[in-house]
Chain A
Amino acid sequence: MNVPLLHVADLTIGYRTRDGMVRPVVRDVSLTIARGERLGIVGESGCGKSTLALALLGYLRPGGLVLGGVVRFDGLDLLRLAPPALQRLRGGRIALVPQNAGQSLTPSMPVGAQVAEVLAVHRGLGPASARARAVELLAGVRLPAPQLLARRYPHELSGGQQQRVAIAMALASEPELLVLDEPTTGLDVTTQAHVLDLLDDIGERTGAAMVYVSHDLGVIARASDRLAVMYAGEIVEGGSTRDLFAEQRHPYTRGLLTSALRLDRPVLPQAMPGQPPAPGFHGSGCAFAPRCAFADPICVAAPPALEVIGGDRLVRCHHWRRAATAETIELDPRPRHTRVNGAAPLIELHDVSVTYARRGTVAFLRRALGNPDPPPTVQAITLTLRRGATLALVGESGSGKSTIARAIAGLQPLHSGGLRLGGANLALPVQRRPVDMRRRVQLVFQNPDASLNPRHTVGEILERPQRLFFGLTRAECRTRSIALLEQMRLGAHYLDRFPGQLSGGEKQRVAIARAFAAEPEIILCDEVVSALDVSVQAAVLNLLAELQAERGVSYLFISHDLAVVRAIADQVAVLYQGRLCEIGSVAQVYTPPFHPYTASLLAAAPILTPGRRARAFDRDETPGGPPARGCPFYHRCPRRIEPACAVEDPPWRMVDEHHAIRCHLSLDQLAEPVAATPLSIALGETR
């Protein structure tokens, strides 16, 4: 088969900005996809990958303009096709799995009807047979009770279910090409592993070609045969996924892989310097030159061309020969706190429970009607965070991580239990805490867009805590703010900027600077790097580690990302539905014996090795709330013991003084591998 299914040639797409200029965000992109092939497109936010993905369906976002090039699907020129013909193709022969299924499903329409609609339009099915086929499709993407589920509205489904509905919708018309725009971003690791499994299966079953667009190298490594790396709107490197992961020719690809956090390597990776240019803004030469270690005057003067360097390998770099042969810097594992268990306790949680159950009349009525209160959202949490150490809380969404942080911050009252800060009672709402106590506990949130006031300059943002806690004058604040910004690797010129003028990484640095401006003893870091790009993530984590070494501050580090936690934390607490499953040092938690939940999280995490599959060996649907008794993980556990796990609270099994697992299985049972998971192989290699 010589004619490719999809052929993109020299495609350039721009957006018209408010000042009337046209900014190209996709530049000179050429691609081919053969029938049944899986192509990955990887790049960071703003690199133009989503614009490119939508162009593969002949679609431009409002304000978008084709500045040149063609997109040919089976001989049809998608960018110049008449609307009726385009409508027949879209959702028919080419289908999209959107980035955020929750927002991409129409809220006012039952999900079954949304799938049936595709069948009615593209397959000409009547209402009854379309509905019946829609239910079959929902069953095909392994949704439970599809008949019932078809009548539900999108908001009634979990994130993973919504994504499956979107996949069923895309598959409805048996497309020849599936475009997947970040299909698993925002899903929990186990759900992600399930969805990727499902997509593999679909690829084999239907023979559809797939284009995976993602920022996640682990997902791409697993889900693609060939790979294109995008930077600032251009493809900078291309080739087979296996080759690309084995050996990178372009300095950017190389930096991306070096700065990625890896589950199998417990080190803080080296960060790539700088940050990508804003979409559509790049100099005349190589867009990567400002961040590149190999850059010289040629790179600034002339843009490199995309060169074929043997086989299907492509690279856009003047110096790829030098870059490819340069030595990789081997990183030393970050020195762990050996004294962690000896240092004085800073934050102590003793048997803490938190409930969101409503109080007042409703609760009273409910109780009067004989309905017991729902079990607390977070229960029986006993943790100690020591001075100068990092304790990570890890778990899926809904595991109670943020609730615990909110309780420590005084934003959520304790239902029962004790909370102490350096021996003093901290179980007070934030309004009733003495000023100095408030100063000692600071917060950094996941999304700096929401936590930084967009109408305040960086200077004003940093001034607030200093005036409040230290009563400094404006001039004194300014001097200290500049010093702070310099520590964050941001210059004094940032003082007068507004958050809207900063990139994601810069904003998060400002949020960290604001926390440090109060000279706290503990910072609650709630998913602080989750919204950041890979290359920026490493830089922010390195910064946090440095600041900790300098100032002896403690972190409560909340993350769903096991690789991030492994790199930064000293101690780890694994949470499921607001209950502790396992607690210990990083080295202990990431090696057997595992709690079954820890084991399944580790197995499901994507691995940066092409062809190796992360495996999901438990069910990924979490029940609505924690059970009143028994093990919370009972429903999903592959190793549950009937009936003990359902009715009896599991005991704490002590591996040693510092490592404990809460499970009915004995330590010997927990130590034996359930299956030869890819992870245990990967871990075996590096240990």
Chain B
Amino acid sequence: MLNLITQRVVLSLVTLLIVSVIIFVSTEVLPGDVATAILGREASPARLAALREQLGLDRPAFDRYLEWLGGALRGEFGMSLARRNTAVGQLIAERLRNTVLLSAVAAATGLPLSLALGVIAGLLRDRVPDVLISTIALIGMSLPEFVIGSVLILTFGVLWALLPAVTVVPPDAPLDVLLPNLVLPAVTLIIVMVAYILRMVRSSLIEALASDYVQMATLKGLSRPRVVLLHALPNALLPTINAVALTVAWLIGGVVVVETVFNFPGIGRLMVTAVEDRDLPLVQALGLLGAALYIAINLGADLLTLWLSPRLRARLLQM
């Protein structure tokens, strides 16, 4: 068992290493390097060469990759190009807090909500509550986040003006100042996330309820709640763990759109700015961070599935 976990962890680290190579190479291959980004396209070749030498860009790519990777391992990503006097690490740290907070609020509300709604819909299949929940979920899924966000801004930010429409506080604002700005982006995320997960929970619960073992549990004379909670749900939730993990990973890595819509000072917003500013060290750092989170969450989901599913565990251990 321990072997299996080690194997998974090592595999994840290897994946991350490959991702780091891809990130480094792709920023390398892009037309224009850091020197052109700093000096602009009209800079003279002599000044470019001088700057390159100063930044160490004339050294072989492999050496620079190792140096970058070594820095990344220590949490040092160099200085931002767009904001000369700020370390990339510091820029990220400030905004990471905000994004993690946003995601945590969305996940902590959205996960239980989607489980509950999914179970209700699955149990009352094709009855009024299910039709209602499923239809709303379908709408939530089909509308892009920026549409949902804009509708929310229009309704609660402009028409009723209950909450700030867009965030204007600085990234390092204290929590009590930041919190009101967090509500609308979080609601947007919750709507999209709940729609995905509840549909997944609903369909796998329906499948489990139609299984022979649920019929057998019923015919053992068990009460309905017992059948659902002990026999159907544990088996129904297994396939949803990975969907949940993907959604959570999306929450952290892909809140770009939502943060941009609300001008929320998080990682996603920072990413957009970094790309706009051709702030390559920042882009690299954010890319690596996103990949690391994504891989970590998937690893967690795999291990959780393994822990919860004796059958899968046995099959993998045999190999």
Is the CB of B235 closer than 8 A to any CB of chain A? yes
Cβ-neighbour of A155 out of B219, B221, B231, B311 (below 8 A): B311
Please measure, in the bound complex, the distance between the C-alpha atom of A104 and the C-alpha atom of B213, giving whole angstroms.
4
Is the CB of A634 closer than 8 A to any CB of chain B? no
User: In the complex the two chains form, is B221's CB within 8 Å of A89's CB?
Assistant: yes
Q: Which residue of A lies closest to B217 (CB)?
A: A106
Contact with A along B288-319 (1 / 0, CB 8 A): 00000000000000000000111100100001
Cβ-neighbour of A103 out of B211, B222, B311 (below 8 A): B211
Within 8 A of A (CB), among B194-228: 210-213, 215-224, 226
Contact with B along A103-123 (1 / 0, CB 8 A): 111111100000001100110
User: In the complex the two chains form, is B235's CB within 8 Å of A107's CB?
Assistant: yes
Q: Given the interface contacts A104-B212, A155-B310, does A90 sit within 8 Å of B220 by beta carbon? A: yes
User: In the complex the two chains form, is B213's CB within 8 Å of A91's CB?
Assistant: no
Residue pairs across A and B with CB atoms within 8 Å: the count is 82
Q: Which residue of B lies closest to A88 (CB)?
A: B221
Q: B235 contacts which chain A residues (CB < 8 A)? A: 106-108
Q: Which residue of B lies closest to A54 (CB)?
A: B219
Q: A83 contacts which chain B residues (CB < 8 A)? A: 224
Q: B215 contacts which chain A residues (CB < 8 A)? A: 59, 61, 98, 104
Distance in angstroms from A149 CB to nearest chain B CB is 14
Distance in angstroms from B6 CB to nearest chain A CB is 14
User: In the complex the two chains form, is B212's CB within 8 Å of A59's CB?
Assistant: no
Distance in angstroms from B257 CB to nearest chain A CB is 38
Contact with B along A66-103 (1 / 0, CB 8 A): 00000000000000000100111111100110101001
Interface size class of A (residues with CB under 8 A): 35 or more
Q: A90 contacts which chain B residues (CB < 8 A)? A: 218-221
Is the CB of A193 closer than 8 A to any CB of chain B? no
User: In the complex the two chains form, is A108's CB within 8 Å of B234's CB?
Assistant: yes
Q: B308 contacts which chain A residues (CB < 8 A)? A: 108
Please measure, in the bound complex, the distance between the C-alpha atom of A90 and the C-alpha atom of B216, giving whole angstroms.
10
Is the CB of A156 closer than 8 A to any CB of chain B? yes
User: In the complex the two chains form, is B221's CB within 8 Å of A107's CB?
Assistant: no
Is the CB of A660 closer than 8 A to any CB of chain B? no
Please measure, in the bound complex, the distance between the C-alpha atom of A54 and the C-alpha atom of B215, giving whole angstroms.
10
Dominant SS among interface residues on chain B: helix
Within 8 A of B (CB), among A302-320: none
Please measure, in the bound complex, the distance between the C-alpha atom of A90 and the C-alpha atom of B212, giving whole angstroms.
16
Is the CB of A62 closer than 8 A to any CB of chain B? yes
Is the CB of B179 closer than 8 A to any CB of chain A? no
Q: A362 contacts which chain B residues (CB < 8 A)? A: 319
- Chain B: residues with Cβ within 8 Å of the partner, total of 26
Please measure, in the bound complex, the distance between the C-alpha atom of A391 and the C-alpha atom of B225, giving whole angstroms.
55
Q: A89 contacts which chain B residues (CB < 8 A)? A: 221
User: In the complex the two chains form, is A106's CB within 8 Å of B213's CB?
Assistant: yes
Q: B213 contacts which chain A residues (CB < 8 A)? A: 103-107
Q: Which residue of A lies closest to B313 (CB)?
A: A153
Is the CB of A57 closer than 8 A to any CB of chain B? yes
User: In the complex the two chains form, is B310's CB within 8 Å of A103's CB?
Assistant: no
Q: Given the interface contacts A100-B212, A103-B211, does A92 sit within 8 Å of B314 by beta carbon? A: no
Q: Which residue of A lies closest to B310 (CB)?
A: A153
Q: A354 contacts which chain B residues (CB < 8 A)? A: none
Is the CB of B230 closer than 8 A to any CB of chain A? yes
User: In the complex the two chains form, is B219's CB within 8 Å of A109's CB?
Assistant: no
Q: A100 contacts which chain B residues (CB < 8 A)? A: 212
Q: A92 contacts which chain B residues (CB < 8 A)? A: 221
Is the CB of A169 closer than 8 A to any CB of chain B? yes
Q: Which residue of A lies closest to B311 (CB)?
A: A155
Q: Given the interface contacts A89-B221, A106-B231, does A98 sit within 8 Å of B310 by beta carbon? A: no
Contact with B along A545-587 (1 / 0, CB 8 A): 0000000000000000000000000000000000000000000
Q: A169 contacts which chain B residues (CB < 8 A)? A: 220
Q: B221 contacts which chain A residues (CB < 8 A)? A: 86-92, 118, 121-122
Q: Which residue of B lies closest to A179 (CB)?
A: B219
Distance in angstroms from B210 CB to nearest chain A CB is 7
Please measure, in the bound complex, the distance between the C-alpha atom of A96 and the C-alpha atom of B217, giving whole angstroms.
10
Q: Given the interface contacts A100-B212, A104-B215, A106-B231, does A118 sit within 8 Å of B220 by beta carbon? A: yes
User: In the complex the two chains form, is A121's CB within 8 Å of B211's CB?
Assistant: no
A-B contact pairs, 16 of them (CB 8 A): A57-B219, A59-B218, A90-B218, A90-B220, A98-B215, A98-B219, A104-B212, A104-B216, A105-B213, A105-B216, A108-B234, A109-B234, A118-B220, A118-B221, A121-B221, A362-B319
Residues of A within 8 A of B (CB): 54, 57, 59, 61-62, 83, 86-92, 95-96, 98, 100, 103-109, 117-118, 121-122, 153, 155-156, 166, 169, 358, 362
10 closest A-B pairs by beta carbon, nearest first, are A91-B221, A91-B220, A90-B221, A104-B216, A103-B212, A153-B310, A108-B234, A106-B213, A104-B212, A87-B221
